[in-house]
Structures are given as C-alpha cells and as structure tokens.
Amino acid sequence: MSIVVVSDVHLGTDEANEEKFIKFLKELDFEKIEHFVLLGDIIDIWRRDFTKAVIECSRSLTLLNDLVSKTQVHYIVGNHDYYLLRLSELYGTNFPFDVKKSTIIKSKYQEFYFMHGYQLEVLCNPYYKSMKTYETFSEHMCLAGDDTGNAADALWKLRQSNKSLWNKLKRIPENPYAALKSMMEPPEVRIRNIRKHNAIGPIEKLAEAESKHFLLDIRPEQFLVYGHTHHPYINEEKKVANTGSWGLGDQKKFWYMEIVDDKVDLKEFD
C-alpha cells in the first residue's frame, strides 16, 4: 500500500512554485501509488479572482485531472480552497475529484485520518471557536477574492450592507474586521504572530492530544495527517504528522509525505 500526500501548494499566488509542482506530478510514478491525497490549499482562491486562478493554473489542474486514470485522487479542502467543496456538490460526478473535508485510508494495519488542519486552528485561535463560523468565512473569502488583495474589505462591506451572512453565524468574532484581516495572512504570519496569538504550539499540542477525538471527528486509534501550518513533522508515538508546504513556510522546501505499509516518511522534492 502506497499513499502520497501533498499540501499547501497555494497555486495562483505569487509565492507558489507551479513549475516545481508540475515537475513533481510528471516525475512521480503514479501507477505504483494507490492513493494520492491533496491535503488542501492546493489552489488558492482567497487571494485571486477564482476564474483567473483556475485559468492560470490550468496546466497543474489538467495534470491532476489526468491522474484519476492512474491512482485514486482524494481532494481534501483547506480554508483557501474551501469553495471546491461546493463546486463538487454542484457538478456531482462530472467533477474530477473526490472532494471532502476529511477522509480515512487504511494502509496495511493502520488507519490514517486526513484533514487539512484549519479545524485545529479554529479550536485554538481566539478569533474563531465555531467551525461553522470559520467555514462560512472561508467560503465567502473564496468568493470575495481579487487581484488587489482587498478581500477583507470586500467582506466587511458585505457585512455592512447585507446582514444575512452574519445572521446565519452562531458565534461572531468580537472584532470581525480584525478576524477577516488575520485570515488574509499566511499561516507563518497569522498563526505565529506572538504579539497577538501564537497558535502553532496549541495547534500541535491539540493534534497530539489523546483526547482530540472529543473535539474532532477522529477515533483515538487513527493516525492523524494534516497540513495548514506549513510546519512539517512526524510524531510516531502520538500518531500525528504534518505534511508541511510546497516551497512556503520557514524552510521554503518542497515537502510531501509518503506512507508505505504504515511507515510514514517526510520527503523533499528536488
């Protein structure tokens, strides 16, 4: 059993390295890979017009589309590509990928639970304690993106002119505009901003907690694999691993994960 996982490519942004990602997709022998997991934030819809992003990333998306004939592709939505969940629901079987918030794949003996990881931030970030609130924000951020980076302002104007979005939320952040602006920052800025709230430690602590199944849809015996923080690591004892990011984060390396017969390895693509 072979599983390959990649997360946080953020195609469509200036920081993304699409050429390297295309090379990665072309060089891996997917005929020998049973499951290919795209662990969220593969295409970044927040910071660019969605239609432009899809057009500009057409080479990568076409290659991903072609992989379905070679391996089983799982697309797990992140906060930056959350709207793909709605698109997959809209187009049904015509949509090329199996798009979900999470998925479970059994390797040899171990079950692996895959999710992007924004769920952990929701529970650890003082701005958001409601998953519904955060996911509603994420969906609308995908629809408010523009080339000038004023999505937060657009959403704030939406809030001022149309209360329907906010009326649906069970819990509104104390400072909605600050919450929206913070969501525009990459994880290495937003999550690790010590002057405001350093959430990277609590996120990893929650991911490693034996009691996390009280807060997340995961069973205690399952091995958690997530992304989102751009910080790669493996903790075999706690049954948790982070995929890192694609040329982003502190190390600027092109990380991906390979799971073969329950053995989890972090790899760097050259």
What domain range is 175 assigned to?
122-193
CATH code (residue 84): 3.60.21.10
pLDDT at 217: 94
Domain shared by 131 and 6, yes or no: no
Q: What order of strands is seen across the sheet that includes strand 72-76?
A: 98-100, 72-76, 35-38, 2-6, 255-260, 263-268
By DSSP bridging, strand 233-235 and strand 72-76 are unpaired
| CA separation for the pair 134, 180 (Å, rounded) | 10
Report the number of distinct structural domains present in the chain: 2
Please indicate, yes or no, if residue 201 is contained in any of the structural domains: no
Whether residue 80 lies inside any domain: the answer is: yes
Tens of pLDDT, residues 201-256: 889 999 999 999 999 999 999 999 999 999 999 999 999 999 999 998 778 899 99
The pLDDT assigned to 165 comes to: 52
Structural domain contains residue 199? no
Q: Are residues 72 and 163 in the same domain?
A: no
Q: Is residue 208 situated within a structural domain?
A: no
pLDDT at 200: 81
Q: Are 29 and 36 contacting, i.e. CB atoms less than 8 angstroms apart?
A: no
Strand order in the sheet with 233-235: 102-106, 111-115, 223-226, 240-242, 233-235
Q: pTM of the predicted model, to two decimals?
A: 0.86
Q: Specify whether 87 is located in the same domain as 128.
A: no
Is the pLDDT confidence value at 17 over 90? yes
Do 60 and 85 fall into the same domain? yes
